[in-house]
Structure 1
């Protein structure tokens, strides 16, 4: 559970670090960040002599690479074809989907307290991200991509528990595969930009944290922890991310943020105390 919470904490830094990388095309940033994560992960695998962790069946590779790359590709497509606020709100259905899918895919009981907890978490997220949200019909493709991204990440997360025999070291290979696919997509659809010192530092920090260690920690959390509780607590990510941006001088504290914080905290408490 602590590993899963560590992943959520690292993801809270994603928006802040992404602002440092502003100016790099999204797919190029994804490819570079995943390349850093893969290089460090493969180095750890080599030092520990655990190369067998990369010898996995095709289904496992499809799950790992497809989940990491598929989610990011769909998310960036959503931002490109729909308003960012609305796309983000739909994308943050993934914590709710993790909780709901835990019942049919893992046979885990939900219960009214846990469902109430995740509902409060989503309400806090909607209050924070969805103020004045509108869903114009012409942006249907972007909204569809955002929903697909949420579903892909929820399925990736829940199915990880069904693949508990796969060592976490395999995530290093998944990152390498995601980096390769992102590079190919970047070369096909985007111009390349030479990063400056600020952008290069952002790429390094992203590869170390939100697009690196976070995936290894999340894999541990999903396989050994309670996906229902982690799914509910995931609604703290947009709140914590907003607080970090405010601390960095990118905004001010609002009543919506304060209420969202209370809703997410209350939802987490309900989920944590559910039996």
Structure 2
């Protein structure tokens, strides 16, 4: 089989690639809303998925032989079919519908809570026990979710869109399930992602053809292509490269905490949304919870 050559560790380059990935991810919430102003959620997903699939095919074809990709698929065809039904199909259909119903400043931070959901789902799916730090992190993080969803009016529990909040939180469950099961696959991450997109893309396009039909708004299509490049395609590869080059992976992974705050700035500057204080407070609670959980896990492993 053909595999990529071993990479020489280079922390400065890893930090640069990680920062570029974070910068790209920070723009996609704004791109979602710009595209959804012109396209139905499934149309956005169809164009974005096709764009990402093209990028993944090009990158994987350069790094690996097609026989290697086929052997990877042959080892777990059912798993790839099921994971492809989650990502890119169900996860993004639900996420884009949440963005269609909610202000970007709510949908984006709510989706960010998937890391907390992952630790919760690891209990029934992986048989892992919840530790004291996990429980504290979950309570703090999900209180942050409530603060964001209610715009700070926690006691009233009134939402801009109850359905939108439910969809955003449901997307976090699907994303956590996807990564829990994806971690069991032995193929390189970019190969696994490609195989998932090969399985999931026909589902996306089939749904579009049976519901909305092809998009015909060039502004929406342009934004959707941007989403395909910077949400699903090249940014994942930048992040993967950063983690492979890093001598201190934790320093690179901590960059991800900049993304939601940068995203809120772009949402304000480009979309014109007035970011309410509750969004910053809730997002800060979620990030503090995630960092606390990671630090506690690191200390317990020593």
> In the alignment, which of 27, 34, 54 is matched to residue 20 of structure 1?
34
Q: Alpha carbons of 1:54 and 1:9: their partners in 2 closer, same or farther (altered >3 Å)? A: farther
Report SS of the residue matched to 1:251.
coil
Query: Residues 171-190 of structure 1: matches in 2 within 5 Å?
Result: 171-190=193-212
Q: Is the 8 A contact 1:239 1:257 kept in 2?
A: no
Q: Give, in whole Å, the separation in 2 of the partners of 1:70 and 1:20.
A: 21
Among candidates 72, 92, 103, match of residue 92 of structure 2? 72
Q: Aligned-pair RMSD on alpha carbons?
A: 4.2
Any unmatched runs of 5+ in structure 1? 222-232
Aligned counterpart, 2:55: 40
Residue deviations 1:171-205, cap 9 Å, x none? 12322332221111011011432232x33432222
Q: CA deviation at 1:17?
A: 0.7
Do residues 160 (structure 1) and 182 (structure 2) align? yes
Per the alignment, residue 209 of structure 1 pairs with: 230
- 2:92 partner SS: helix
How many Å separate the matches in 2 of 1:46 and 1:26?
30
Q: CA deviation at 1:40?
A: 0.8
Whether the 8 Å contact between 2:51 and 2:229 is mirrored in structure 1 is: yes
Judge conservation of contact 2:149–2:165 (CA < 8 Å) in 1: no
1:101 corresponding residue in structure 2:
121
TM-score (norm 1): 0.74
What count of residue pairs does the alignment treat as equivalent?
264
Unaligned runs of 5+ in 2: 1-13, 243-254
Distance 1:126 1:110 in 2: 22
Larger Rg: 2
SS of equivalent to 2:183: helix
The alpha-carbon deviation at position 31 of structure 1 amounts to 0.8
Q: 1:49 deviation in Å?
A: 3.0
Q: 2:110 touches 2:148 (CA, 8 Å); kept in 1?
A: no
Residue 192 of structure 1 aligns to a residue whose secondary structure is coil
Deviates more, 1:46-55 or 1:177-186: 46-55
